[in-house]
Chains A and B, each alone.
Chain A
Amino acid sequence: MDPNYLEFEQPIAELEVKINELRLVGSDNELNISEEIQKLQEKNTKLTEKIYSGLSPWQIAQVARHPLRPYTLDYIQHIFTDFDELHGDRLYADDLALIGGVARLDDKPVMVIGHQKGRGTKEKVRHNFGMPRPEGYRKARRLVQLAERFRLPVLTFIDTPGAYPGMDSEERGINEAIAENMALMSRIKTPLIATVTGEANSGGAIAIGVSDYLNMLQYSTYTVITPEGCATILWKSAEYAAQAAEAMGVTSKRLQELGIVDETIPEPLGGAHRDVATAAENIKATLIKQIDRLEQLELDELVTRRYQRLMSYGIHS
């Protein structure tokens, strides 16, 4: 099994192997097999389209955590220019699970904040697998305040298994760090746009998720608890993760129906990792459009609108 392909993608992987073998043969001799290759490629595209058009919520959750999935720093590289990373919460430490800094979106200066998971063991450990400690959220808070002071729109990128569930997190008040971020972001006088790029789980996600627009990439998930966690508690076994994902409605499609998500940003065929540039281009276009809209509002209007959005969350009789 090819580890760079998910289980349900294995037929695609097999076809890719075939195509590559043919290519090798093709470069060896003059036989005209380019036609054959092209045929296989078309077949592969159709197969990918077929598989991806019928993904279950649980399969989407897996794509959201794909080992090759682009992370915040990948998107920063593609979407922004002139990025200066800013470090530290000024209180205790710098947490690399949540990164941020000032950059330009085309010419416009903006503040970018996002989870960073890291690729490869060493980098993953350095970024703590995208699970921030309180310092991460307090750094984000500092950057949001800085953005307000200098009238920079804040663009957040959400992709986290959750806030770090360790002793040190508790000792330094992870709950307070999350709570205060939401409180602050609910009233900050600058546009806030949140984009879920991978998996957005629980308080660790919403701590940078209060926003004027909430976007989700097509194959990302946003949920109150991981499907495995939900399954362990309610079904008594993590093996029911697929059922839990289905029941919780973790996909952008479902969440858009519920009125929580504003926009689903399309991904290239086979997921963002197949073509990071295109995925980034799609995100960028959405962000530019939304900033334009938000900047037409007076700041008080902006905050009132955000408050009303927050108050509208909830369905009861």
Chain B
Amino acid sequence: MSWINKILPSISTSSIGGKSKSSVPEGLWKKCPRCDQTLYRGDLERNLDVCPKCDHHLRITARRRIELFLDKEPQEELFVDIEPVDILKFKDLKKYKDRLNAAQKSTGEKDALIVFRGAVEGTELVTVAFEFGFIGGSMGAVVGEKFTQAVNVCIENRLPLVCFSTSGGARMQEALVSLMQMAKTAAALERLREQRLPFISVLVDPVYGGVSASLAMLGDINIAEPNALVGFTGPDVIRQTVRVKLPEGFQRSEFLLEHGAIDMIVHRKKLRNRIVALVRKLLHERYTAAEPDTVAGTEPGSPDSGEEAAGSGVNAESGTAIEETAPEAVTDTGADETAEELSGKEKTSSEVNPGADSEDLDGEDDDPARQ
């Protein structure tokens, strides 16, 4: 059926992807899911979880995302008490309640979205991040409510909002309530627009279904990380429906840029810089070029976004040290858990979009958007 992949499930019980997990000793080493290079965790972390060899942007937890994005001070997590309720007493092969418990245990999160108030290079903002490890980052009532509350905080305090979405879509186990979150978050963002406060939507591999068809596509500025898969319907379902071979790079960031869905592709190393540069322009605030404590190699506001983006998959400065944004503050336990979660997540992805991972972008193709 056509809409199956619009709402990506949480199921991560299949054995797909197990191979890469078992071949790498846990903890210290991690294998890049794209180039298969075995990487030292410390190197990987210093490189913001981007493969130093092939520049693949690995999936990271919501907390790691926030840690990479926000200044260390100030930081305040908001709406930590909002928890999911299984109102429908939903049960498929498993009870939703059990799925929730398992997801809470494995991720340490109460649901699939976390909200922080903080600053980037001193610019105050509110940021939210999806946790893909929590039932596929799916949006149910809690995600919708926390997102909406985050918007409200922005309005009350005149702050911009930055969202990192990575999600399979609406959460089936909350049925129509989850579908309604699409309308709810869209309505909240419309209020933010009326207040002339910027909403920067960052699309992080993968974003599908109800999340892509609501808040994630409503950015004043839409940004994608390189090579992220973003679409409404998953590639498998499209293949089944139209029965043609999908083109190389279909639904990847480069494809989105070419088709006008996003403003730019930004390398993880440059996200902080670029977002602050954008936000300050929209808010008529001054921005002095790259402050000493910012990520290396960025020309804030440089006009070559598409170019930089497109090339990043191929010739990014993969070796560049970026001390400030890859703080040693990562706790050991956090790192270990991350390793496990990551392999789990890559697994979920390949299950959800089988074959998709092999369709890597050839960033150097003829590209009208870059001429």
Contact = CB atoms under 8 A, between A and B. Distances in A.
Do chains A and B stick together as partners?
yes
Contact of B214 (A164, A178, A249, A317): A178
B353 to A, nearest CB: 13
B144 A314 contact: yes
Contacts of A311: 148, 184, 187-188
A98 to B, nearest CB: 15
A202 interface: yes
A33 B179 CA distance: 55
Contact of A179 (B4, B218, B246): B218
Contacts of B145: 314, 316
| A175, A210, A234, A249 — most chain B CB neighbours (10 Å) | A175
A167 B186 CA distance: 25
A186 B184 CA distance: 9
A164 B172 CA distance: 20
Given A162-B3, A165-B2, A307-B187, A224 B170 contact: yes
A183 interface: yes
Question: Could you say which interface size class chain B belongs to?
Answer: 35 or more
Interface stretch (B6-14, B22-30, B60-68, B101-109): B6-14
B296 interface: no
Residue picked from A131, A167, A223, A238, most chain B C-beta under 10 Å: A167
B184 A170 contact: no
Contacts of B6: 162, 165, 202-203, 225
A191 to B, nearest CB: 16
Given A203-B6, A203-B213, A249 B176 contact: yes
A225 B3 contact: yes
B263 to A, nearest CB: 12
A224 B175 contact: yes
A226 interface: yes
B11 A315 contact: no
Interface residues of A, number: 64
B7 A187 contact: no
B91 A247 contact: yes
Contacts of A205: 179
Which among B90, B93, B172 has the greatest number of chain A C-beta atoms within 10 A? B172
A260 interface: yes
A315 B177 contact: yes
A165 B184 contact: no
Interface in A183-239: 183-184, 186-187, 201-207, 209-210, 222-226, 228-230, 232-236, 238
Interface stretch (B44-52, B234-242, B276-284): B234-242
Nearest to A232: B4
B2 A224 contact: no
A182 B170 CA distance: 15
Interface of B: 1-4, 6-9, 11, 81-85, 87-88, 90-93, 140-142, 144-145, 148, 170, 172, 174-184, 186-191, 193-194, 209-210, 212-218, 231-233, 237-238, 241-242, 244, 246-247, 250-251, 259-261
23 contacts: A161-B2, A162-B2, A170-B238, A175-B212, A179-B215, A179-B217, A180-B217, A182-B187, A183-B187, A187-B190, A206-B182, A209-B183, A222-B176, A230-B7, A232-B4, A249-B88, A258-B176, A311-B188, A313-B141, A313-B183, A314-B140, A314-B145, A314-B184
Interface of A: 131, 161-167, 169-176, 178-180, 182-184, 186-187, 201-207, 209-210, 222-226, 228-230, 232-236, 238, 243-244, 247-250, 255, 258, 260, 307, 310-311, 313-317
Which 8 A/B pairs are nearest by Cβ-Cβ distance? A186-B187, A314-B141, A313-B180, A234-B92, A165-B2, A182-B186, A165-B233, A175-B213
